[in-house]
Amino acid sequence: MGFNFAHNDNEATQSGHLEQLTLAYPLVQKSYPEIYISKDSLFSIFANFDDLRFGIMDTIKYSSYYVQNLNEEIPVFSKIKIIQDGSAKDNDFGVFGSSIVFTRLEDITLLRAEALCALNRSTEAVSYLNMIRTNRGLREVSFKKDFGNNRENLIAEIFEERRRELMGEGWRWYDLVRRQKLMKDNETFLQLINSGGIYWPVSEDIITANSQIEQNEFWK
């Protein structure tokens, strides 16, 4: 969804975009990114080499829509890279024009798979998971063969698929919270949820300006 203002101007700035933190040479004139995905994490997250998002070709050559400079010490996370509104002929002036992603079909599809699991409709959930997998070059999976008719195994895989598909789009924290509410396999995280620690604290400036507003209990 683009940011259209008066006079049909689009929001294009050097700050406030994911690209400001993730891009570096050769996409923009910056030696190293502020945040990046390590090689170990990439190989762990994308363990299936057939994955079109980050996979392997001809046994040695990697294909990726997510990173560049994989041979360097720090790879560049380049999944989102709208430089000069996509019309730049060079990278000397790094103005970014990417839009906020509110949602997309892959997000909705995997949310439906997750919801069906929560309703104990696992076989239906697998069909939605497979919609995403086949679009990314992966084989279809079976609830019985691949997950042993185990709902928790399927839930874990759906959230891993969301991690692979939605990487860099701002959903990971919320996914981890929902996953824990379903799986309940991390006591520390469960305590954080039950105590309200998953919510942001109220700004002290806001509390000072309005004495009727109270700080969230976890942050008092």
pLDDT tens-digit profile, the chain (220 residues) = 444 544 445 555 666 778 888 998 888 888 999 999 999 999 999 989 889 999 877 666 677 889 988 888 899 999 988 776 555 555 555 677 777 777 899 999 999 999 999 999 999 999 999 999 999 999 999 999 999 999 999 999 999 999 999 999 989 999 999 999 999 999 999 999 999 999 999 999 999 999 999 999 999 9
Residue whose structure tokens are 């730049």: 88
Give residue 5's pLDDT. 46
121 with 173, same domain: the answer is yes
**Is the residue at 210 inside a domain?**
no
DSSP classification of residue 48: -
- Give, in degrees to the nearest 5, the angle at Cα 24 between 89 and 102: 85
**Is the residue at 176 inside a domain?**
yes
Cβ neighbour number for residue 191 with a 10 Å cutoff: 10
**Is the residue at 209 inside a domain?**
no
- Give, in degrees to the nearest 5, the angle at Cα 18 between 92 and 111: 145
Give residue 92's pLDDT. 54
DSSP classification of residue 31: S
Which of 14, 10, 159 lies closest to 94 in space, CA to CA?
A: 14
Give me 41's structure tokens: 């994490």
137 with 190, same domain: the answer is yes
74 with 123, same domain: the answer is no
Q: What span, in angstroms and rounded, lies between the C-alpha atoms of 130 and 145?
A: 14
**Is the residue at 139 inside a domain?**
yes
How many structural domains compose the chain? 2
Q: Tell me the one-letter amino acid at 77.
A: F
Phi-psi map region of 58: left, alpha, beta (phi>0 left; psi -120 to 50 alpha): left
Domain that holds residue 119: 105-194
User: Strands (DSSP E) along the chain, which ranges?
Assistant: 54-57, 61-64, 67-68, 76-77
Give residue 1's pLDDT. 46
CB 6 within 8 A of CB 47: no
CA atoms in the 13 A half-sphere facing the CB of 128: 24
> pTM of this prediction?
0.84
